[in-house]
A and B are shown apart, each in its own frame.
Chain A
């Protein structure tokens, strides 16, 4: 097409972990950003796409591979790149004007010039009138407009955006997306290209010239889709719906190929990084699927639309259901298994029993804890023992998250009890209150 602005070759990122396995976040990534295109990196959270964005802007160094800016390998942050952050990163103690001027302060621009350019940038994003407001007076959408103004005031070649709309409500995000596309189409700024990270399929389909679909564990590019549609794109166009469906297809394929060997679901190991899903959402989805189509399969894109869920919210729930063998996912469709149907139809108490059986059968970590509790005198162990086990292969925060989910699911299924004050897991029936407890409660 046209000139390459940024290109990356063979980028990998590994976070070293002393005394256990290193955690690989990005694996062997190649991509290039060309002039006059908007590229979206699309994937679920934790797929390393934000890390890639930071590597490409020079904020962090890759473990291996080369990033080049107009053909030159980079060292440190690239001067021609500006960034828009998910949570705006506006300084609360500066006014709108001062926040935007901050972008120019590093460039030794004289104060009156600085003021003039900042005011112009504020005009472009439509925030004139709010120059003396502090961020806390502004709504999220307004804050992000200021974030845009701060990014474009330095007249960058490339704009990087890290989930810029995900902290906003649906209508505000829509409004901001449209305004951004208008700016881009009207060429009101000197931007040559935009690179955006998102987990919102609709957003990617709406804005991108090119969509790169990211797979997890470790992060890698699964597909490179060219979008050949003029702006304003209309979600009702058949071409748009086709695009959305094909994105869903690619994404579910990405997670399919990961969780299956041949046609069968892969059993997970004891260190499996459980998705953080609350028990009530799990049950809710099983029951929804059951009432939707007791016998048929449900299109995942329909499900997402109907439940108003992002890919980021929906996929972990479906993954958990697959993990517990309550449902299975095949080429973009979800279907309840026999256990799933049983569960949906069972009474409250029976549901707990079914859940407990699935937990013990398919989650090695729960099985392990249960075995340890049975072996131990007093039927009680401290949570640190399990954390130690998980930390062998997971990061510290990941281990804590996994343990939290395990405890929540197991408490619901009454597989074991947990006392947050002492940090002990035990086989005690949590319904029975001992004599000493009764005194304090």
Chain B
């Protein structure tokens, strides 16, 4: 269990800052410098960001990683803002609910990378020849990978706030503003943090993928890990790929440790489920730094620290807005998006071909999921049976799941191309790598919550291992497994766009599939074909959701959950 601060009514006296404070401020300082540097580049012309602007020198990697992380933060900030706006609106207004929720359902089924193509077209045409436009396109693509489940989670939490709380708020005559911040946001917080974590892990691949953007005939390389990998891939530099992978791993681990675990532990303080991660080391680090804690704990707020923070953040905001203003003054008239499309219809033959390709990709994904089940469910059950092993493995698998598959792809592609392996077959492991962790993770999670008695009963009845599998393990993990399959399928669709077509050191190979077609069309700058393949992929994914996943999920939760 964790320790609570002992409340002392005279505790408002000021302690001196300690060593930990300086360390914490050092980290915050570096972040600020990074943000400032990012802003100065935004107003520059896009031409400056050609292929040559990316250096494969290892020493530059930390800076690139910082830029990628910054992009991620910008996207998640945007996602949280939009979540508060749309989620609250949908929960409060019947009319808005009827529009927002179905729209999100549709948007959710469109693979993120398909969105990337659209967001690139739109923002580049609105902000031509400016880094800001391209940066914005990348951030929006990452945002799209994060936002939907967060909005839905917030909406559902607000909808299920106990009626008594509202009655209490009425009796105490709290304003709507207070109700939102004191009741609705806190009650949504656990779900929102959980979903934000999911979103962030799932969106790393989008960050990597979105950094290299096709603008008309040119490729623009935004400084970041993704561009670094792409350049290394084009030059066939294996060592650079390896460095990038290591950097990515470090970023993900650090990120997970300094942001999410503490947040989880913090939520666990008042949530009813006691989580062991509550006494996580970062929390203890934070509680050692006297000043930082004063800032984050509203009961013991320290005035001058808050003034300092306010002054610094205001300065940053002014600095940033100054550069944005500078940029706006140089803004030219936006060209209309898709202006070179004079015919929106692609032609029936082409569309039928796209459908066929889509079905090929769908079958490929189905096979991948079956393979994943065969391999990872037994392993997951084995890990989940042993609670200590599972506790130990969980963070590792979490990091692996967050590790963007497209960082690993160049390695695998190198092998495929240099040994001239059959791409139609070897694309399977590539897609599997994107999908498998969700299945493993959910299997373990399902195993962890099986009541001990079930297994004891089976053992006391002398059931064989096979019978226990059949009667206890598999039914018990079913709802979790279906959730895992749904997430895995989503990841697999994205993976088809990344993996069905790739190039290494000038050689290009492609497997047949809608993903390959979409990527090729976007590299050739053919927006009409991109749009149509996005529409068809979205349509297929939605159909599969409605006719496969949703019924399966209903059955799994109704039949295999003991109590709802």
Bound CA span A150–B169, Å: 12
Docked-complex contact B270 and A136, CB < 8 angstroms: yes
Query: Chain B: which residue is nearest A86 at the CB level?
Result: B164
| A12 CB → nearest B CB, Å | 21
User: In the assembled complex, which residues on chain B have CB atoms less than 8 Å from the CB atom of A85?
Assistant: 164, 167-168
Bound CA span A92–B9, Å: 22
User: Which of B171, B183, B189 has most A Cβ within 10 Å?
Assistant: B171
Residues of A120-138 whose CB lies within 8 A of B: 131-137
Whether a CB of chain B sits under 8 angstroms from the CB of A119 is yes
Docked-complex contact B171 and A83, CB < 8 angstroms: yes
User: In the assembled complex, which residues on chain B have CB atoms less than 8 Å from the CB atom of A77?
Assistant: 170-171, 173
User: In the assembled complex, which residues on chain B have CB atoms less than 8 Å from the CB atom of A137?
Assistant: 4
Docked-complex contact A132 and B172, CB < 8 angstroms: no
A89 in complex: contacting residue of B164, B173, B182, B558, CB < 8 Å: B164
User: In the assembled complex, which residues on chain A have CB atoms less than 8 Å from the CB atom of B171?
Assistant: 57, 59, 77, 81-83
Query: Chain B: which residue is nearest A106 at the CB level?
Result: B173
| A130 CB → nearest B CB, Å | 8
User: In the assembled complex, which residues on chain B have CB atoms less than 8 Å from the CB atom of A97?
Assistant: 7, 299
Q: Per-residue CB proximity of B525-563 to A under 8 Å, as 1/0?
A: 000000000000000000000000000000000110000
Query: Chain B: which residue is nearest A101 at the CB level?
Result: B299
Query: Chain A: which residue is nearest B7 at the CB level?
Result: A132
Bound CA span A106–B269, Å: 26
| A295 CB → nearest B CB, Å | 44
Category for how many chain A residues contact B: 20 to 34
A132 in complex: contacting residue of B168, B178, B271, B299, CB < 8 Å: B299
Name the prevailing secondary structure of the B interface residues: helix
- Given contacts A79-B173, A81-B171, A98 and B165 within 8 Å (CB-CB): no
- Given contacts A81-B171, A89-B162, A421 and B178 within 8 Å (CB-CB): no
User: In the assembled complex, which residues on chain A have CB atoms less than 8 Å from the CB atom of B173?
Assistant: 77, 79, 106-107
Docked-complex contact A105 and B167, CB < 8 angstroms: no
Query: Chain A: which residue is nearest B175 at the CB level?
Result: A106
Docked-complex contact A89 and B178, CB < 8 angstroms: no
Bound CA span A119–B559, Å: 50
User: In the assembled complex, which residues on chain B have CB atoms less than 8 Å from the CB atom of A94?
Assistant: 182, 186, 270
B4 in complex: contacting residue of A57, A133, A154, A421, CB < 8 Å: A133
Query: Chain A: which residue is nearest B273 at the CB level?
Result: A136
Bound CA span A97–B7, Å: 10
- Given contacts A91-B183, A132-B4, A54 and B167 within 8 Å (CB-CB): yes
Bound CA span A150–B182, Å: 15
B182 in complex: contacting residue of A79, A82, A91, CB < 8 Å: A91
Docked-complex contact A154 and B172, CB < 8 angstroms: yes
Whether a CB of chain A sits under 8 angstroms from the CB of B5 is yes
Whether a CB of chain B sits under 8 angstroms from the CB of A95 is yes
Docked-complex contact B172 and A103, CB < 8 angstroms: yes
User: Which of B172, B271, B559 has most A Cβ within 10 Å?
Assistant: B172
Query: Chain A: which residue is nearest B174 at the CB level?
Result: A106
| B364 CB → nearest A CB, Å | 31
Docked-complex contact B270 and A83, CB < 8 angstroms: no
Bound CA span A134–B7, Å: 12
Category for how many chain B residues contact A: 20 to 34
Whether a CB of chain B sits under 8 angstroms from the CB of A285 is no
Bound CA span A106–B189, Å: 23
| B311 CB → nearest A CB, Å | 22
Whether a CB of chain B sits under 8 angstroms from the CB of A102 is yes
Whether a CB of chain B sits under 8 angstroms from the CB of A252 is no
* Cross-chain pair count, CB within 8 angstroms: 76
Whether a CB of chain A sits under 8 angstroms from the CB of B272 is yes
Q: Per-residue CB proximity of A104-125 to B under 8 Å, as 1/0?
A: 0111000000000001000000
User: In the assembled complex, which residues on chain B have CB atoms less than 8 Å from the CB atom of A83?
Assistant: 167-168, 171
Query: Chain B: which residue is nearest A134 at the CB level?
Result: B270
Whether a CB of chain B sits under 8 angstroms from the CB of A392 is no
| A155 CB → nearest B CB, Å | 13
Query: Chain B: which residue is nearest A88 at the CB level?
Result: B164
| B287 CB → nearest A CB, Å | 14
Residues of B150-177 whose CB lies within 8 A of A: 162, 164-165, 167-168, 170-175
| A189 CB → nearest B CB, Å | 16
| B104 CB → nearest A CB, Å | 26
Bound CA span A437–B173, Å: 58
Query: Chain B: which residue is nearest A103 at the CB level?
Result: B172
User: In the assembled complex, which residues on chain A have CB atoms less than 8 Å from the CB atom of B9?
Assistant: 119, 131
Whether a CB of chain B sits under 8 angstroms from the CB of A68 is no
User: Which of B164, B168, B175 has most A Cβ within 10 Å?
Assistant: B168
Whether a CB of chain B sits under 8 angstroms from the CB of A87 is yes
| A223 CB → nearest B CB, Å | 29
Bound CA span A82–B172, Å: 8
Docked-complex contact B178 and A59, CB < 8 angstroms: no
Whether a CB of chain A sits under 8 angstroms from the CB of B6 is yes
Bound CA span A47–B172, Å: 27
Whether a CB of chain A sits under 8 angstroms from the CB of B277 is no
| A348 CB → nearest B CB, Å | 26
Docked-complex contact B559 and A421, CB < 8 angstroms: yes
Query: Chain B: which residue is nearest A153 at the CB level?
Result: B172
Residues of B1-19 whose CB lies within 8 A of A: 4-7, 9
Whether a CB of chain A sits under 8 angstroms from the CB of B187 is yes
Docked-complex contact A135 and B270, CB < 8 angstroms: yes
| A105 CB → nearest B CB, Å | 6
Bound CA span A89–B163, Å: 9
User: In the assembled complex, which residues on chain A have CB atoms less than 8 Å from the CB atom of B183?
Assistant: 91
| A371 CB → nearest B CB, Å | 30
User: In the assembled complex, which residues on chain B have CB atoms less than 8 Å from the CB atom of A98?
Assistant: 299
User: Which of A97, A105, A107, A137 has most B Cβ within 10 Å?
Assistant: A105
| A102 CB → nearest B CB, Å | 6
Bound CA span A87–B269, Å: 20
User: Which of B7, B174, B175 has most A Cβ within 10 Å?
Assistant: B7
Docked-complex contact B174 and A105, CB < 8 angstroms: yes
| B45 CB → nearest A CB, Å | 48
User: In the assembled complex, which residues on chain B have CB atoms less than 8 Å from the CB atom of A87?
Assistant: 162, 164
| A385 CB → nearest B CB, Å | 20
Docked-complex contact B272 and A106, CB < 8 angstroms: no
Query: Chain A: which residue is nearest B558 at the CB level?
Result: A421
Q: Per-residue CB proximity of A393-409 to B under 8 Å, as 1/0?
A: 00000000000000000
Docked-complex contact A136 and B271, CB < 8 angstroms: yes
| A116 CB → nearest B CB, Å | 10
| B266 CB → nearest A CB, Å | 10
| A129 CB → nearest B CB, Å | 8
Docked-complex contact A93 and B187, CB < 8 angstroms: yes
The 19 sampled A-B contact pairs (Cβ below 8 Å) are: A57-B171, A85-B164, A85-B168, A87-B164, A89-B164, A89-B165, A89-B168, A91-B165, A92-B271, A93-B187, A93-B189, A94-B270, A105-B172, A107-B173, A132-B5, A132-B7, A136-B272, A154-B172, A421-B558
Please report B residues at the A interface, Cβ cutoff 8 Å: 4-7, 9, 162, 164-165, 167-168, 170-175, 178, 182-183, 186-187, 189, 269-272, 299, 558-559
Please report A residues at the B interface, Cβ cutoff 8 Å: 54, 57, 59, 77, 79, 81-83, 85, 87, 89, 91-95, 97-98, 102-103, 105-107, 119, 131-137, 150, 154, 421
Beyond known contacts A85-B164, A92-B271, A102-B172: 20 more, CB 8 A cutoff: A57-B171, A59-B170, A77-B171, A79-B173, A81-B171, A83-B171, A89-B164, A91-B183, A93-B187, A94-B182, A94-B270, A98-B299, A102-B182, A107-B173, A132-B4, A132-B7, A133-B4, A134-B270, A135-B270, A137-B4
